[in-house]
Structure 1
């Protein structure tokens, strides 16, 4: 999974938040069907264009009950926008979510 991490900013309630966004699930470079040296990850040129640094972690870090707790903590710590994290939680933890989501997009 990867995201774009911009500068840390204090929130009104003094929690440290980040302007991270654009999270997505990607293949690791060695497993990517794209054949690119970066796999499905964004390239350095995209990083410069987006004005931030890329953050990433193995998808396995977000699976199972420990992974779910980590993602819920990301919501509480405002690591990523809530809407993005909720979709990622559904994609990773709800059996069949991807299939139903693809079917609804076609309708």
Structure 2
């Protein structure tokens, strides 16, 4: 195997790993969306978590948490679920900082 072929093989494995990671994240966010729809009361818990993050003096994702606060104040489980299911780059950071945990 030439060096070029080895590099291509390494890059192919790396790409496959990234694709598996993205697929796993999507499955987790889909489960979160289903959970929020089934238990809309968790929106209040999420809002509490968001406000706790915003109260931290060194909150590094303040803009994202402010956006989550705005979204959660709408009290719409279907809207929150739609964001969690969305796969666009626009909502990527929101999904990464989703203030929910599966029980």
Q: TM-score, normalising length from structure 2?
A: 0.31
More helix by share: 2
More strand by share: 1
Q: TM-score, normalising length from structure 1?
A: 0.30
Which protein is bigger by CA-based radius of gyration?
Answer: 2
Higher relative contact order structure (alpha carbons within 8 Å, sequence separation ≥ 6): 2
